[in-house]
Structure 1
């Protein structure tokens, strides 16, 4: 056993080389596979869908907010990995009676780099984590940027409409891409957006994410009924995940910007994309 301090500043006794890991956060599960420790992972949530086809063989323990404690117990884990926003405090407390629960918290890009390093530390895959962090940094160092700091609302839900606010990893990514988040000054991390508030904020763009609510082409017209000044753009919400997905970000956003003529791009940043 070894001592480890998680992102909530809790000191935990965890296995030096865990053999039965349950991950209850999708980005963490994907990153564990990227670190090539999938043989140590014995359970995941139904929302842990990456890497595609490879995770399907792992038993599901429910959703991120409704983890089945008994299903986790049956897997006999020696380590459980959670994330503060994705999973509830009650779930972490209940699971702590089964095995040590390391809780991560990712609100910034630097937090995501720390997550990669710490996943390497807790799983015994430090060299792979160092390599993955380097790849993620290279990707984010070469992110293309829009010019003029246009304002955006990043929409994640419908009925009620909800957007991404401050102190979130998505907010940090929007900033890195050159956007100003129109929801940043609003109360809450995921504020509700009424048609009246949308008209008041008048963002230049509405980024309609593919998850957790699956916005699609038909929803563009829906928003057009509320505003004539905001350009709706469909985006792959999974490209705003932290961890392993960071390595794909630069190429995705370069293609997104090139395929939408309404974006005015800083050409120097596009040339940096590797």
Structure 2
């Protein structure tokens, strides 16, 4: 890193972008992922330099970043190329709510804003605790979260945790320990057997088509399908392991659960 705190930051996923804006440190951002949409003004204010598994390395280097923020093993090759070019890189890999909160605190430390990032993390912690407390003792509808449709993939850990905080019961809680999507593939027959009362779907970058879900063989026996309780949650709200999931994503789950009760 050329100096501390870094003055020129490139964010290759959305959650660090949103966190920096929430901390009032958006002026440090000089480049973002093409998927960054929160807050809305980011699409006008910041140049886009990457997709998720690919990036314009020359464009990033031309921005002369002091720090590049990446996420997960899927961006390992991008990180390696930047490191070889002499760029400081921090790779996050949060997969649960505790990891999201740690990301916020770590990012604050990286930019010299530890007090503000701690306050932000504590705000989220209090909100999660309050919502979880409000659902105790209530009926807990059975929920299937569908992260992809072909093959059928169940929700990652932070999504499963948020379903429970919101007052639902994840029908496949064992999948939360599986970090890789390929390890969360679910046979359609298993969903029929689990009989969820609510199906939440977020097809990671493409629009959910409820009719396709309803037409799956045998799924008309599932209570959620029979009762029309199929809800889409937009990917930027729930599949980004950052502030969006803890706020609007969680609220979307709560709204869907309210339709069951």
Q: Give the TM-score band, short-chain normalised.
A: 0.7 to 0.9
Pairwise mapping of residues 28-43 of structure 1 onto structure 2 (< 5 A)?
Answer: 28-43=16-31
Partner of 2:242: 243
2:230 corresponds in structure 1 to: 233
Aligned residues: 246
Bigger mean CA deviation after superposition, 234-243 or 132-141: 234-243
Scaled by the length of structure 1, what TM-score is found?
0.78
Q: Distance in 2 between matches of 1:81 and 1:70?
A: 16
Pairwise CA RMSD of aligned residues?
2.7
Distance in 2, Cα, partners of 1:124 & 1:94: 26
Aligned counterpart, 2:135: 145
State which of 87, 90, 93 in structure 1 corresponds to 2:80: 93
Question: Helix, strand or coil: the match of 2:68?
Answer: strand
Number of the residue aligned with 2:148: 157
Change beyond 3 A, Cα 1:224–1:15: farther
Matches within 5 A, 1:1-274: 15-84=3-72, 87-98=74-85, 99-143=87-131, 145=135, 147-165=138-156, 168-185=157-174, 188=178, 189-190=180-181, 191-209=184-202, 211-223=204-216, 226-231=219-224, 232-237=229-234, 238-240=236-238, 241-245=240-244, 246-248=246-248, 251-258=251-258, 260=259, 262-263=260-261
TM-score by length of 2: 0.81
Normalized per residue, which structure has more helix? 2
Change (3 A) 1:218 1:145: farther
**Which runs of 5 or more structure 2 residues have no equivalent in the other structure?**
none
Please give the alpha-carbon distance, in whole angstroms, between the structure 2 residues aligned to 1:22 and 1:155.
31
CA distance in 2 between counterparts of 1:22 and 1:218 reads 40
Residue pair 1:153, 1:206 contacting (<8 A) in 2 also: yes
Does the 8 A contact of 2:31 with 2:60 survive in 1?
Answer: yes
Judge which range, 68-77 or 142-151, deviates more.
142-151
* C-alpha distance in 2 between matches for 1:95 and 1:247: 32
- Per the TM alignment, residue 54 of structure 1 is displaced from its structure 2 partner at its CA by 2.9
Counterparts of 1:97 and 1:83 in 2: how far apart (Å)? 18
Assess, with a 3 A threshold, how the Cα gap between structure 1 residues 253 and 159 changes in structure 2: closer, same or farther: closer
Structure 1: which 5+ runs fail to align?
1-12, 264-274
Going from structure 1 to structure 2, the CA distance change for 1:176 and 1:153 (only over 3 Å counts) comes to: same
